[in-house]
Structure 1
């Protein structure tokens, strides 16, 4: 899932994540993810488990209830939005249309720029680190 280039919805085998991986034939890591990075992340999940990150998704209904007070709220700070054109979230139902329509600008009135990085997935800060750094630097130096 971390390195998928598919823009459609994730399709997981009913046996669970990782059940279709052949340990004798590991998938090569992408250029932006080193074995050292992967080992570091894995060590953190070894220590704390993966339950915390999954609980957000298990709790979606309550999350919506807890944030209803902010329904219709506007993001009033200056914003530069950056995503990858292959990002699963960007390509999920209605998101791309919302970002590209006047709806996003309506809800984020100080939206200065939307950057869609070609060929980049969800972890754009890792996959296109130098590009992201340059975008952030150019954005904050205006202030």
Structure 2
């Protein structure tokens, strides 16, 4: 799509696909579930035209990014580790972070690294306490706190 560049970056033991465009201050876009970098294509094009470097990775196990070798590595903190590794690899010190859908849980954890990762924090949706019915479904499916963040 219109000058969006695609590359594979080795980070945190996985190969991560990223889509990027532009120069200037960096905006890192985190997609929702089940989505890809492509969800942000319009924002990448629009904001890069305003002087921003826009980067949107396929997160862990999505699109052209590797899945981890073990299901126990599907955690928000692992994804944050991937993102920190990505920024280190690209030589980026600070980013504006935009997250959508399930990604705000990772974006919140990215604030554990304020000096290196987050300059500004924007969520695509509000985090909320889920209804009891959702919590019962989580328990029935055997999903762990590592996976759900709950």
TM-score tier by shorter-chain length is: under 0.3
Q: TM-score, normalised by structure 2?
A: 0.25
**As a proportion of its length, which structure holds more strand?**
2
Greater relative CO (CA pairs within 8 A, separation 6+) = 1
Q: TM-score, normalised by structure 1?
A: 0.26
